[in-house]
Structure 1
Amino acid sequence: AFEDTRTPFRMALWVSGINIALAVACHLLLSPRWAVTGMAAAYALSYGIGLLMTALRLRKRTEGLLDGRRICRTYAKLTSAATGAGAAGWLIARSCSHNLQPASWTPAISLAAGGIAMALLFLLFARLLRIGELRSLPGLG
């Protein structure tokens, strides 16, 4: 919309640089068991920082027209819905893996049960939290 390709490129460089630095720190500082978990957290953190940097840049560029409170509220609601759904999905997957007889298909059943639960619970929580962006999805408006 601003006919500017340099700014998004520079922002992507910042996000990628932060992600790389944090991922390397996780690799060097965390035990192998926790390094990948730390790298996933680093990925999320780098994109959170990128969101903040982008919002500040857009606010400056649009001379304060950007509604930062609304954006923060939306992301807080999305984070809440994702956290609740993720925790429930993890519990369901863990329960399946512990309660099913060990077999070659047990991990697949656990993954499917946890994944389906997460997707459905996220949609439910997002609807309960009245996340407006749901209205743009077919059948959920």
Structure 2
Amino acid sequence: MACHLLLSPRWAVTGMAAAYTLSYAIGLLLTALQLRQRTEGLLDGRRTCRTYARLTAAATGAGSAGWLIAHSRSHSLASVSWTPALSLTAGGITMLLLFLLLARLLRIGELRGLPGLG
């Protein structure tokens, strides 16, 4: 709600996304600290940080490419009522495929847990 009150309507959704990102990062940190305390130091913090850094890199690359594709499709297609759906579909497919490719290239081990991708 604060985003709608403090930010212009144009930036309210972006502000909410930033707030969610911050809250998840804080939650991850607190959870990791609690797990490390409960497992008496067995949690490998460096490995966890490396994994999240790789996931962030893959998601950033895929998200950027998906946005570019969706944005370029919305301007190049004729102005019809289904243009947003086509743009969203093109961007979403780009994001999915590129994320999987980048995750594999970055050797994100958790990818092996997904059926057919290990």
TM over 0.5: yes
Q: Deviations over 1:36-84 (max 9, x none)?
A: 1100110121011000000011111111111000000000000000000
Which of these residues, 19, 23, 28, is aligned with residue 51 of structure 1?
A: 28
Q: State the alpha-carbon separation in 2 of the partners of residues 61 and 28 from structure 1.
A: 40
Whether 1:68 aligns to 2:73 is no
Whether 1:124 aligns to 2:101 is yes
Cα offset for 1:113? 0.2
Which of these residues, 5, 10, 32, is aligned with residue 9 of structure 2?
A: 32
Match of 1:78 in 2: 55
Greater CA deviation, 35-44 or 117-126? 35-44
Q: State the alpha-carbon separation in 1 of the partners of residues 80 and 9 from structure 2.
A: 27
Cα offset for 1:27? 2.5
Q: State the alpha-carbon separation in 2 of the partners of residues 27 and 63 from structure 1.
A: 43
Greater CA deviation, 115-124 or 33-42? 33-42
Q: State the alpha-carbon separation in 2 of the partners of residues 46 and 27 from structure 1.
A: 18
Unaligned runs of 5+ in 1: 1-22
Cα offset for 1:112? 0.3
Aligned residues: 118
Give the share of equivalent positions with the same residue, in percent. 81
Cα offset for 1:31? 1.0
Cα offset for 1:119? 0.3
| Runs of 4+, deviation exceeding 6 Å | none
Q: Secondary structure at the match of 2:11?
A: helix
Match of 2:76 in 1: 99
Greater CA deviation, 59-68 or 81-90? 59-68
Higher relative contact order (CA 8 A, sep 6+): 2
Structure 2 length-normalised TM: 0.96
CA RMSD, 1 decimal: 0.9
Structure 1 length-normalised TM: 0.81
Greater CA deviation, 28-37 or 65-74? 28-37
